[in-house]
Amino acid sequence: MSEEMNVERGYENWLDEVDSGSPPDLITAVLDELYASGPSPQETAQAQERLRQAMASVRQEQIYYDVLPRSPIGPVYIALSARGVVAIDFSDGKEAFLSWIRKRTGVYPVRSPERMAEATHQVQDYLAGKRAAFDLPIDMRFLTNFQRTVLRAVMKVPRGEVITYGALARVIGRPKAARAVGRALGSNPIPIIIPCHRVLASDGSLGGYSGRGGVRTKAELLRLEGVTL
């Protein structure tokens, strides 16, 4: 096989990985956003500087985590920075969760039930039907501008109500971006607190859900909030 064909095949494999649906790491997310807009040299330099600042700031702090070992949706892992909740995960277990945090932030979390007590308590109460809303800060430093826009919009959908991907795209002023909205929700790093489960397909079906149990868990969270399916 020629060198040119090897390069082409390697590029195709890279594209397959990009389209695989896994959430981007911090560097990839910044570069994706940068190249999507066709950057000028000045914009490239500014984006690189923002990335360096974000990485440097988080390395100067610690990220803590804890786990709810039992809940209606199984074990739930929660991570917290000095600025707020960084991640919630109930998909792949402890090691995958810690590896994801380190890849995204550059910091390996330290377990601290004491520092995590309020966050774990609120999530536990929510899943037990004892809490209707969260009172926790959220750290979105490690997301693209588009992801932040989508996730902030979905946080405004009230408990007990739902919205479609297309309607949410119109809310953020991007009416043709329903699929991109779906991808942003699919890589939501803070599910439950950021209620991506409240977004449905255009035909009213559940659509997708990346957490453990898939759409069954999505349906359970909606029922917990009083949504009749």
pLDDT, residue 201, reads 93
Pairing of strands 76-80, 64-68: antiparallel
Residue 125: predicted pLDDT: 95
Residues in the chain: 229
Higher-scoring residue by pLDDT: 25, 101: 101
CATH code for 61-127? 3.30.160.70
Catalytic residues, by residue number, are 196
Cβ contacts of 219 within 8 Å, gap of 6 or more: 206, 229
Per-residue confidence (pLDDT) for residue 228, from 0 to 100: 83
The residue-averaged pLDDT of 18-24 equals: 46
Question: What is the reported pLDDT for 3?
Answer: 47
What are the structural domain ranges in the chain? 3-58, 61-127, 145-224
pLDDT tens digits, one per residue of 122-178: 999 999 999 999 999 999 998 999 999 999 999 999 999 999 999 999 999 999 999
Q: Cβ distance 192 to 128 under 8 Å?
A: no
Does the structural domain 145-224 have CATH classification 1.10.10.10?
A: yes
Out of 37-51, 135-149, 169-183, 199-213, pick the least confident: 37-51
